[in-house]
Amino acid sequence: MKCFDGVKMNMQNKLIMAGLVLSLSACAGVRDVDHKWCPPEVTAPTVVTERVNLAADALFNFDKASSTDLLPAGKTTLEKLAATLKDGYVQVDKIALVGHTDRLGNDKYNYQLGLRRSETVKAYLQSLGVTAPITTASAGETQPITNCVGVKPTPALKACLQPDRRVAVEITGVRKK
């Protein structure tokens, strides 16, 4: 029998070849035994999506959204987020930012305020060296997380509605182990 570009295989070579094929085929199946001759198993990285809410009142003054309105604590929060993105991930596939507002004010104004906040956060993260693709959007006042009573913008109502004012961050990527 000829095999391997004309090299004749005798019975001993056939047995050796069969043993080699059987040995290597053990690497392809479920392994109960660690075969030293098998190449290491390669597992696909696990892509995760993590969600973080950044309190808008910690990022900006009330009813503000520009980069000049970013509070020192807000800048620190975004710097920590940028460090986590750089140091805590093997790769970041995308980042989605959604600005949210409370229900005080009209719908159109709140939509624009939420959008400006998400765009300001994007610009600041990019200024810190975040290079992953970042999308911005606004939910305005449409996704409240509080159930506050009242319509007059009293200090108590503003405080109650504070959790509604936020920038939601959704990070999709592979975390470092």
Mean pLDDT of 146-168: 93
Q: Above 60 in pLDDT, residue 124?
A: yes
Residue 118 has pLDDT above 70, yes or no: yes
What pLDDT does residue 23 have? 59
Residue 48 predicted with pLDDT over 70 = yes
Structure tokens at 3: 């095999």
Confidence of residue 138 (pLDDT cuts 50, 70, 90): very high
Tokens 């596939």 sit on residue: 93
Which pLDDT value is given to residue 41? Answer: 72
What pLDDT score does 117 carry? Answer: 96
Average pLDDT over residues 21-39: 59
CATH classification code of 48-175: 3.30.1330.60
Reduce the DSSP state of residue 152 to 3 states and report it: coil
Q: What is the mean pLDDT of residues 155-166?
A: 93
Task: Sketch the domain layout of the chain as residue ranges.
Answer: 1-42, 48-175
Structure tokens at 98: 């959604």
Range with the lowest mean pLDDT among 37-41, 66-70, 128-132?
37-41
Q: How far is it, in rounded angstroms, from Cα 55 to Cα 15?
A: 70
More confident residue, 24 or 69: 69
Amino acid identity, position 97 = L
Residue 80 above 90 pLDDT?
yes
Question: 3-7, 108-112, 163-167: lowest mean pLDDT where?
Answer: 3-7
Say whether pLDDT at 4 is over 80: no
Comparing 8 with 101, which gets the higher pLDDT?
A: 101
At 45, is the pLDDT very low, low, confident or very high (cuts 50, 70, 90)?
confident
Tokens representing residue 4 in the block: 């391997």
Burial 80-109 (b: 16+ CB within 10 A, else e): ebbeebeeebeebeebbbbbbbbbbbeeee
